[in-house]
Chain A
Amino acid sequence: MADTMQFDLVSPERKLASMAAESVSIPGSEGEMVAMPGHAPVVTTLRPGYVSVVVGGETTDYLVTGGFAEISAEGISVLAEEALPKGEVTKEVLEEFHRLAEEDAKDASEHHSAAAARRVADCHELLIRHGT
Chain B
Amino acid sequence: MANLKDLKTRIESVKSTRKITQAMQMVAAAKLRRAQESAEDARPYAAQMNAVLGNLAQGAAESESAPLLLRGTGKDDVHLLIVATSERGLCGGFNSNIAKLARVHANELVAAGKTVKIVTVGKKGRDQLKREFGDMMIDHVDMSGVKRLGYAHAADIGRDVIKRFDAAEFDVATIFYSRFESVVSQIPTALQLIPAKFEATEESSVVYEFEPDENEILDDLLPRAVSTQIFTALLENGASEQGARMSAMDNATRNAGEMIDKLTIEFNRSRQAAITNELIEIISGAEAL
Contacts and interface: CB of A to CB of B under 8 A. Distances in A.
Interface of A: 8, 10-15, 28-30, 40-45, 67-68, 70, 72, 77, 79, 81, 109, 111, 115
Given A14-B42, A41-B206, A30 B48 contact: no
Nearest to B150: A13
B208 A41 contact: yes
A40 B41 contact: no
A10 B220 CA distance: 17
Interface stretch (B6-14, B28-36, B108-116, B210-218): B210-218
B44 A8 contact: yes
A43 B59 CA distance: 14
A34 to B, nearest CB: 14
The 10 A-B pairs at the shortest CB distance, nearest first, are namely A12-B151, A14-B41, A44-B211, A10-B45, A42-B209, A41-B208, A41-B206, A10-B44, A43-B208, A45-B220
Contacts, number: 78
A43 B209 contact: yes
A8 B45 CA distance: 10
B207 interface: yes
A57 B158 CA distance: 41
A53 to B, nearest CB: 17
B216 A72 contact: no
Contact of A81 (B41, B207, B224): B224
Nearest to A14: B41
A70 B211 CA distance: 11
Contacts of B211: 28-30, 42-45
B151 A45 contact: no
Contact of B210 (A11, A14, A42, A109): A42
Nearest to A67: B224
A101 B130 CA distance: 36
Interface-centre pick from A28, A29, A43, A111 (highest chain B CB count, 10 A): A43
A43 B52 contact: yes
A13 B38 contact: yes
Interface in B126-156: 150-151, 154-155
B228 interface: yes
B48 A10 contact: yes
A68 to B, nearest CB: 6
A13 B209 contact: no
B56 A43 contact: yes
Contacts of A43: 52, 55-56, 208-211, 217
Contacts of A40: 209
B91 to A, nearest CB: 24
A14 B151 CA distance: 10
A29 B150 contact: no
A68 B52 contact: yes
Contacts of B180: none
